[in-house]
Amino acid sequence: MPIEPVVTPGLNAEDHVLVDWLELVAFFNEFRTARLDELDAAIEEQFEALEDDEPEDENDDLGDDDAGNIARVDAEKERVRERIENEVDFRLKDCDNAYPFRLGADAEELVLVEDWQDDRFTPYLTCLITTHLTQNSLFDFAVDGGLISQLRNRVFQVLSTLAMAGLANGSAASVGWPRADRADIIATLKRAEARGAGFLTREEPGRYAPPKAKDGGVDVIAWEIGVRPPPVLFYFAQVASGHDWQGKSVRTHAELFEQNYLDDAHRGNVSYATLLPFRVADEGLWNHESKVHGVLLDRTRLPKHAVLGQALARGGVEMDEAENMPQVLAWLDDFRATALA
């Protein structure tokens, strides 16, 4: 297996895919560095392959033809580098202090920060890897199924719960199944109630609640912490670690969730959120799905809110999953070791 077990994207790859590739190369690289000249070499190789497929014209002036090809390759390199710089700059700004990569001073390399294992950076790295576990993967190895299950059942839920606490500037409860403590949904909601979520929980699920339902279609709830209850803001959220998230909002579950599990619903302003590991770069898709889902926390939004959630927990705000950030780093370390084995 190569040192960096990733596949070079094609010439027609979108900007965010090219930067993903550089980030993954840097993540796996011994020196935490991805050189942009590696991408230059890939561009040259792919242009050569395209030229080999074209029929030869015996009347061409080979000198002029070669010069034209070199000019086209150089122009493509410059265009790709500008796109990469713009995308990295966007990620750096939108992630705030949670982006773990830096462009070198001469923009010739992308470098993973030395302290990438810090809890400030692991949310972004987890989202990056999650993006490429299934559809359009840049990995050139088969990912262990146990690692995927652990990610979806626990690791991304931990990050999402902390991110929702950060978004709400308050507390959050991890409702989605499987829950870390295996508690039933009533016990989970009663714990949130005791932390000031602003609702009263039923003693038993409502008569029409599906007997086998374990989370009512809701993965996280979060609320603002204020001096005077009830909380002003309340969020229903869902965690979407797969690529089939579009058009599927937690809004459709919220009303039934209230009827089935709450005796007296919250009295704050209700909002909805969906948490994604992906970089949603299409502006039209972003705006459309924001109307469907409410707040979207994608790869450049989720990490900074997870960092805020961690800060709230360290400051004494009680919330679910606050003690489970070590699981995130352990998973990243296991994934990296498995990929490089």
Let me know if 89 is exposed, middle or buried by CB neighbors in 10 A (0-12, 13-18, 19+): exposed
Q: How far apart are CA 8 and CA 282, in angstroms?
A: 22
Task: Say what the pLDDT of residue 130 is.
Answer: 96
Q: How far apart are CA 214 and CA 204, in angstroms?
A: 13
Which of 277, 270, 232 has the alpha carbon at shortest distance from 254? 270
Which of 121, 113, 142 has the alpha carbon at shortest distance from 332? 121
5 touches 340 (CB < 8 A): yes
Task: Say what the pLDDT of residue 56 is.
Answer: 58
Task: Say what the pLDDT of residue 229 is.
Answer: 86
Exposure class string for 138-172: b at 16+ Cβ within 10 A, else e: beeeebeeebeebbeebbbbbbbbbbbbbbbbbbb
Q: Torsion over CA of 326, 330, 332 and 336, rounded to 10 degrees? A: 160
141-148 long-range contacts, Cβ below 8 Å, gap at least 24? Answer: 141/1, 141/5, 141/339, 143/335, 143/338, 144/338, 147/331, 147/334, 147/335, 147/338
Give the list of residues 6+ apart from residue 38 with CB closer than 8 angstroms, or none. 25
Let me know if 103 is exposed, middle or buried by CB neighbors in 10 A (0-12, 13-18, 19+): middle
Residue 35 CA to its chain's centroid (Å) = 24
Q: How far apart are CA 180 and CA 220, in angstroms?
A: 13
Q: How far apart are CA 59 and CA 74, in angstroms?
A: 25
pLDDT in tens, the chain (341 residues): 446 899 988 778 899 999 999 999 999 999 999 998 877 877 777 777 766 665 555 545 444 556 667 888 888 888 888 999 999 999 999 999 999 999 988 888 999 999 999 999 999 999 999 999 976 789 999 899 999 999 999 999 999 999 999 999 999 999 999 998 899 999 999 999 999 999 999 999 999 888 888 889 999 999 999 888 899 999 999 999 888 899 889 999 999 999 999 999 988 899 999 999 999 999 999 999 999 999 999 999 999 999 999 999 999 999 999 999 999 999 999 999 999 98
Question: Residue 79's beta-bridge partner residues?
Answer: none
127 touches 275 (CB < 8 A): no
Task: Say what the pLDDT of residue 65 is.
Answer: 59
Task: Say what the pLDDT of residue 306 is.
Answer: 99
- Report domain extents, the chain: 15-116, 145-340
Q: How far apart are CA 249 and CA 266, in angstroms?
A: 20
Give the global pTM: 0.92
Handedness of CA 211, 214, 218, 223 (dihedral sign): positive
